Structure formats: structure tokens, C-alpha cells
A and B are shown apart, each in its own frame.
Chain A
Amino acid sequence: EPEVTQTPSHQVTQMGQEVILRCVPISNHLYFYWYRQILGQKVEFLVSFYNNEISEKSEIFDDQFSVERPDGSNFTLKIRSTKLEDSAMYFCASSEEVGGQGDYGYTFGSGTRLTVV
């Protein structure tokens, strides 16, 4: 069964540093997403990406964040000048249709646990 792959599984970084979280979406999917989940809290939408540009973003996704699809397979989330409150699980997801509205919804990766110290 196709999977969304995320690396690394766990990243520890010092406050103020930049991190890049990497994702390889399912190959025939066209829509890509980043969500985050702070420990004990709900999954929150960050950004969606289609046709090499951001199609929607949440209030959380401010200038500190950026996304990129540098080649045909990878989808990255960059967080600049990390803060303690950026510590969370970051999930990448992909879908065949907009908003995951086909029968398959989104497919999520297993996440990257980011710890900012």
C-alpha cells in the first residue's frame, strides 16, 4: 500500500535554529499538506500546496514557515528561528483530490517529532 514517508522521525534543535522537515508524498497525488499536533492537543492545519504554490494556509503558518517542492518527489517544511512552542508532531499528508475529498481522504505520514530546546 502506498505510503507518505517523513524524515527524520525525531529532530531536536536549539531555539533560534532553522529546521527542515522532509516528506515524500504518494507518487500520483497532486495535493500536499502539512499539519501539526502539539502534545495532547488536536491536529491543526498549517498549509496546503498544489501546482507548486500554496493554495491555503492557516493563521499558524506565518513568515516563520515556508514550504517547497524542490524536485518531483520531496515536499519540505522549513521553520526558521524555532521557538519552544514549535515543539510538536508535524504530519505531512497528500491526496489525489482537493481537500482529500475523494474516497481515500488524506494519507498521512507517521510524522516528525520536533523538540525545540
Chain B
Amino acid sequence: QKEVEQDPGPLSVPEGAIVSLNCTYSNSAFQYFMWYRQYSRKGPELLMYTYSSGNKEDGRFTAQVDKSSKYISLFIRDSQPSDSATYLCAMSALGGQNFVFGPGTRLSVLP
């Protein structure tokens, strides 16, 4: 089993839709969870950062962590064509110095 898994997509939605992106993981030691957005030929850009379980909201983005299920989600409300990108989840164990990235989900928001 891979350490971090994501549905690679592509996921196509109409503008204005609510998007749900998910990652599952196998290492119960992971405590820190991040979501990155990566445009083509660009470096990953941090969207959301959460610690342990719970929800965090920032504008149109909501991150959820369910450690009991080893499952994290990113919700995008009122999706825009500019949200079209690859979304990467990343996670780290407490005190870890590097994050393990998922393979990414490619999202396309159609006008």
C-alpha cells in the first residue's frame, strides 16, 4: 500500500460547483497535513495547513482531517476556472522534517 494516495483525476466540474478532493494515508504517525495547488510548470503553492484532526476554513477553501479514518479532504466552494490545477496533499509525522506528497489530483473547472 502506498503511503499517501490520491485519485489522479482528471476531475472536470462546471464553474460554481463544489469540489471535493481527497487523500488517504497509511501512516498513523502523520500529524501535519497540507494542501498545495500546482499550476503547470510551477512550484507547489500552499493553500491550507492543518494539524491533527478537525476542520479549517479559509475563504472558499475548507480542509478536513479525519485521523481515525486516515482520510483528509479539501473542499472548494464556488469553483472558478482559475482553480484549474493539480492539487497535492502532503503530510508529516510529528517532528518530521519532510512531508510526503500524494501524487496529485488534476482539476479542471469549465467556464
Q: Do A and B come from one complex?
A: yes
**Interface residue ranges, A against B (CB under 8 Å):** 4, 6, 31, 33, 35, 41-45, 48, 55-56, 58, 89, 91, 93, 98-101, 103-111, 113
Partner of B98, one of A4, A41, A48: A48
Q: Quick check: is B41 within 8 A (CB to CB) of the other chain?
A: yes
Task: Give B59-98 as 1s and 0s: 1 = Cβ < 8 Å from A's Cβ atoms.
Answer: 0000000000000000000000000000010101001111
| Known contacts A35-B101, A56-B97; 16 further A-B pairs (Cβ under 8 A) | A4-B43, A33-B98, A41-B103, A42-B101, A42-B102, A43-B88, A43-B104, A58-B98, A99-B95, A99-B97, A99-B99, A100-B99, A104-B46, A105-B34, A110-B43, A111-B41
A99-B95, A99-B96 known; A44 vs B42 contact (CB < 8 Å) = no
A44, closest chain B residue (CB): B101
Partner of A99, one of B44, B46, B88, B98: B98
Taking CB atoms, residues of chain A closer than 8 Å to B43 are 4, 6, 91, 93, 108-111
Give the distance to chain A from B27, nearest Cβ to Cβ, in Å: 14
Taking CB atoms, residues of chain A closer than 8 Å to B100 are 45
